[in-house]
Structure 1
Amino acid sequence: MAPIPPGTLWSPPSIAPMLAVPGPLPVPDSDWAFETKWDGVRCVLGTTGDGSVRLTSRAGNDLTVTYPELQALGGELRGHGVVLDGELVALDASGRSDFGRLQSRMGVVNARRAGRLALDCPAHLMIFDVMYLDGRVLLGASYGERREVLSALAMSGAHWSAPSYVQGHGTQVWDAVVREGLEGVVAKRLSSPYTPGTRSAHWRKTKVVQTLDVVIGGWTQRRGAAVDVPGAVLVGVTGPTGLRYAGSVGSGMSEREQSELMAYFAVIARPTSPFADPVDVAGAHWVEPRLVAEVTASEWTRAGRLRHPVWQRLRPDLTRLD
């Protein structure tokens, strides 16, 4: 990097993060870069050159106090005005992002408590873009050019890094992500500019999801709908002590499927929960655990619940109504 006059302070602009659209891996892929999709919280980091940093969320909320371990990055970038884009994660012992661990850090605004949590469960900033450097706005530069600028900054610390990308070879990257148990892949067109605050087709995210069969043990009424219209089903999986509650699934269900389910629920209703463990869901209606459904989910939480579950279909081949 070029020398900066001592004492220079910059005024970096406020830049909202660019967003990706969900979709399949691009084909052909020679003009695309592929990155690991990290399971965390989007973060924009800005420095003025005085050794301090300011962190903001995707919604523009100030996160600076919440993650004090990132202040040291300001010292590494002292003398430079920079705006960086990345994902705040909490890593497990295998180096995988663990959203459950990060949740203990989120929303903390007391500096002393945030400092204690930073020691017990440190956050790590995965930096993947730079939008401003020393008075130069880089929004119009291509992704490839911006990554060259980012690489020249040579940032590496205990709580931040700038993971590399792979040009082309999307299928191989996908296979590696699945093999390592990571969240997914983000494909970015090498020629793409940075468009703040917009969901652009130049960035495409593909998530790894699990498909599994679950047993329906109850349902909840859909808000604002007529009586006896399910908004979600309460599902479980068979465990050593019986049916273990796995969460509530509502996303992805069509009106036809809702009507079909209600016809079944009227026949197999029961007064008590079929789950072996407590289910703290207001307004729950219980049914005999005879219906089996196929759902997808991104992962299991530490509490044993499905994360981001989506309804796929009822499994009549596995359902028992006799």
Structure 2
Amino acid sequence: MSRTTTLPRRLQPMLATLTDAPFDDVGWVFEDKYDGFRMIAKIEGGKVTLYSRNGKIISHSYVEVAKALEGTKGDAVIDGELVALDKDGTSHFQLLQNALRHQATLRYCAFDLMFKDGQDLRGLPLLQRKTQLKAILPRHKLIVFSAHRKTHGTKFFKEVERRGLEGIMAKRGDSIYQSGARTDNWLKIKTSKRQEVVIVGFTAPRRTRPFFGALALALREGNGWRYIGHVGTGFSYQALEELHAKLIKLKASKSPFRSKVKDEAVTTWVRPSLVAEVKFTEWTSKGEMRHPVYLGLRTDKRAKDVVLEHETPHSR
């Protein structure tokens, strides 16, 4: 069970900018890019409150993680990522989708410390914050300190790519923590293209597939919606059934697009409120995703905030 609150600006997570390629730089450190979702942990007087990126209190959904964090030394506000691991110890966003219903190997990967014992640490350099974070984290199997490597981002990226992981994070070693801001002091470098999308419709099922055929996808553009294609792969039977049940409740009378799009005759439109994540190979000349694969729903972002994520070349 979760409820939405308004996270004070000072507790809001700092956001990274997508960049185009890995690099080497003595002033930067490099970490794993975890394939889960952001979680702010507030520990006060031994009580733990867990927040999602969009301000939902989710402590009751992840009681074991909250209990593990009770062992933190003193009061703190920690930034990290909740992940679900496969049998090889690799994090997968898809596994996290079913973590509440089925047994899953959860980990809270802590990578930054915003406050400690009432002291605001956000103005300290990143590496100093990480040193203090490591010192207060409890020794518990559910809690992981996010280690980093200095300077050699290119080599690290190649290792991550070889292992089939999502990518790496690059962070300036002397960067301060800018709550709620997207900054180029933190960069994300992905091994494959991924994008958060908004579901705006579904097509009728074909052949032996039940429930629906494909999802119509959109991004927010100005005050309207931009069509970016359909996704019809990546669904388990359970995902098809559960998504269909959610979509039926969101039926809308008309298309959110100004012009006609593919398969309108067999499309049921829905209110644009469900956010999903997909991976794909490239953008076509029409601005649509080529070979998209559904990864799962995201509950940590509002539909109206889902816009095209541009790769920003890093000045090296």
Task: Give the structure-1-normalised TM-score.
Answer: 0.60
Aligned to 1:282: 268
**Does the aligned pair in 1 maintain the 2:43–2:70 contact within 8 Å?**
no
**Does the aligned pair in 2 maintain the 1:36–1:186 contact within 8 Å?**
yes
* Aligned with 1:85 (options 69, 79, 88): 79
Pairwise CA distance, 1:201 = 0.9
Q: 1:139 to 1:222 in 2, by over 3 A?
A: closer
Classify the secondary structure of the residue corresponding to 1:151: helix
**Does the aligned pair in 2 maintain the 1:49–1:74 contact within 8 Å?**
no
CA distance in 2, matches of 1:151, 1:221: 41
Pairwise CA distance, 1:26 = 6.0
Root-mean-square deviation (CA), in Å? 3.9
Amino acid paired to 2:62: Y
**Does the aligned pair in 2 maintain the 1:19–1:197 contact within 8 Å?**
yes
Would you say 1:209 and 2:162 are equivalent positions? Answer: no
Q: 1:172 to 1:84 in 2, by over 3 A?
A: same
Aligned to 1:195: 178
Classify the secondary structure of the residue corresponding to 2:70: helix
CA distance in 2, matches of 1:43, 1:75: 15
Amino acid paired to 1:205: K
* Aligned with 1:180 (options 139, 147, 163): 163
Aligned to 2:67: 72
Pairwise CA distance, 1:61 = 1.2
Could you tell me the percent identity over the aligned residues? Answer: 31
CA distance in 2, matches of 1:152, 1:208: 32
Classify the secondary structure of the residue corresponding to 1:17: coil
Q: Where does the alignment leave 5 or more consecutive residues of structure 2 unmatched? A: 1-7, 195-212, 220-225, 234-258, 270-283, 298-305, 309-316
> How many residues are aligned here?
229
CA distance in 1, matches of 2:154, 2:172: 16
Classify the secondary structure of the residue corresponding to 2:268: coil
Larger Rg: 1 or 2?
1
Aligned to 2:43: 47
Classify the secondary structure of the residue corresponding to 1:71: helix
Aligned to 1:133: 116
Would you say 1:59 and 2:54 are equivalent positions? Answer: yes
**Does the aligned pair in 2 maintain the 1:39–1:183 contact within 8 Å?**
yes
Task: Give the structure-2-normalised TM-score.
Answer: 0.61
CA distance in 2, matches of 1:174, 1:26: 7
**Does the aligned pair in 2 maintain the 1:155–1:161 contact within 8 Å?**
no
**Does the aligned pair in 2 maintain the 1:210–1:298 contact within 8 Å?**
no
Q: Deviations over 1:169-194 (max 9, x none)?
A: 00011011111111111100001000
Would you identify which runs of 4 or more consecutive aligned residues in structure 1 move more than 3 Å?
A: 25-28, 217-223, 232-237, 293-303
CA distance in 2, matches of 1:219, 1:154: 42
**Does the aligned pair in 2 maintain the 1:69–1:122 contact within 8 Å?**
no
Would you say 1:32 and 2:28 are equivalent positions? Answer: yes
Q: Where does the alignment leave 5 or more consecutive residues of structure 1 unmatched? A: 1-11, 106-113, 212-216, 224-229, 238-258, 274-280, 284-292, 311-322
**Does the aligned pair in 1 maintain the 2:217–2:231 contact within 8 Å?**
no
CA distance in 1, matches of 2:292, 2:144: 25
**Does the aligned pair in 2 maintain the 1:209–1:296 contact within 8 Å?**
no
